[in-house]
Amino acid sequence: MVIYLVRHGETEWNLQGKLQGREDIPLNKTGIWQAKVCGNALQNTKFHCIQTSPLQRAMETAEIIAFHQNCRVIVNPDLIERDYGNLSGLSPQERQEFVRQGGPDGVEPWEILEKRVIRAINKLADACPESTIAVVSHGAWINALLAVVSGHEIGSGKTQLKNACISMLYQEKNKWKIGFYNLTGEDIKNGIPERI
């Protein structure tokens, strides 16, 4: 099985540096353009289906990618972004002040996020064995998955994922491996690498 992980395109909150959790923020004009470039880069990759987070920015990105595909877009609640609790919507400076004051942040614990992302892709592998699918999700969700699969060499705390970037996972002997990660449509306009 092969999974292409796509981070949603840019939103105004991304542009402003606000932490974006489960708030339903739409793509901005740049985000729509990024999703189109991503869709163009993936147009020769035929997907069994496109699975998307239920949040608007991911669904919009998935629908733009689907324009080039002959497959269904399926909303999958397991792909939703990490819950950032009381930190959602705060700028970096506001987050620092919040942490300094020592209040409860209500952020979804790493251990729960880690289990959630692995459970999600294993469910997809069970449901669509031997398939190629696209998963449109969010920065923290994809980074958590990359961290787990890479043994924390990349991903959470180490990788700043670009908006509308593409990463690829594949299964080999029932083990997930990373083919490539964090490439935009511009990075791969001359063809998608099979492995890096």
Averaged pLDDT for residues 121-133: 92
CA-wise closest residue to 34 among 196, 154, 137, 166: 166
Residue 40: pLDDT band with limits 50, 70, 90: very high
- At 103 the pLDDT is 81
Residues that are catalytic: 8, 81
The structure's pTM equals 0.94
Domains of the chain: 2-183 (3.40.50.1240)
Distance CA 166, CA 47 (A): 14
For residue 77, give every residue at least 6 positions away whose Cβ sits within 8 Å of its Cβ, in sequence order, or none.
53, 54
User: Given the DSSP bridges, would you call strands 2-7 and 166-172 parallel, antiparallel or unpaired?
Assistant: antiparallel
- DSSP state letter for 178: E
Strand partners, 158: none
Give the C-alpha separation, 38 to 1, whole Å.
21
Res. 195: pLDDT tops 80: no
